[in-house]
Amino acid sequence: MDPTDAAACSIARTLDVVGEKWTFLILREVFRGVRRFDDVRVATGAPRQVLSERLASLVDRGILRREPYREPGQRPRHEYRLTDRGFDLYPILIAMLAWGDRHLPAPDGPALRAAHRDCGADVRIALRCEAGHEVAALRDVVPRPGPGARRAQTVAGSSGSRV
């Protein structure tokens, strides 16, 4: 990929880790507390080989960790748990859930909800800026080049003065 400002952004790097449908569906299951290979396989419908590869990749990238367990009379196996880094992906899944609920609603209502532990109401994404303001409308969020973009532009041959 070219060293353009956009290609170097955090969205692209995030997608290198989780930018694939099965990966998100596997993570959804782990967030729901489904942690064992066969349970994740049944819940997602992922082919065995795909699931095996995706789980290995998520462990490699520090999103999941393997924890040993042993059922009586069985050989030792592993279950998969979220690392802190993996747990921080939760807002992405909540944002996907909200978009699907709104724009691709199921006839019988949502199958899965993200609920507030204290009161049980559905949790929604809100936006706040680092100066502490509530950002009420999506139109008030504007993309801007960051410091990493300047260098990328300079490397790519421009003057670096355009920000």
Please identify, using beta-carbon distances, which residue of 77 and 160 lies nearer to a second copy: 160
User: Nearer to a second copy by C-beta: 69 or 148?
Assistant: 148
Distance CA 48, CA 40 (A): 10
Rounded least distance, CB 4 to a second copy, Å:
6
Virtual CA dihedral for 39, 49, 96, 144, nearest 10 degrees? Answer: 140
**Minimum CB–partner distance for residue 120 and a second copy (Å):** 8
Contacts of 65 (CB under 8 A, 6+ apart): 59, 80, 81, 82, 83
State the minimum distance, in angstroms, from the CB of residue 70 to a second copy.
26
* DSSP β-bridge partners for residue 68: 78
CA distance 53 to 51: 5
Nearest CB to a second copy, comparing residues 76 and 136: 136
> In the complex, what is the shortest distance from the CB of residue 38 to a second copy, in angstroms, rounded to a whole number?
14
- Tokens representing 91? 């807002």
What's the closest the beta carbon of residue 83 comes to a second copy, in angstroms? 10
Choice between 22 and 78, CB closer to a second copy:
22
Distance separating alpha carbons of residues 47 and 15, to the nearest angstrom: 21
Contact yes or no for 35/81 (Cβ under 8 A) = yes
* Cβ closest to a second copy, residue 39 vs residue 74: 39
**Kindly report the CA angle at 119 between 114 and 120, in degrees rounded to 5?**
35
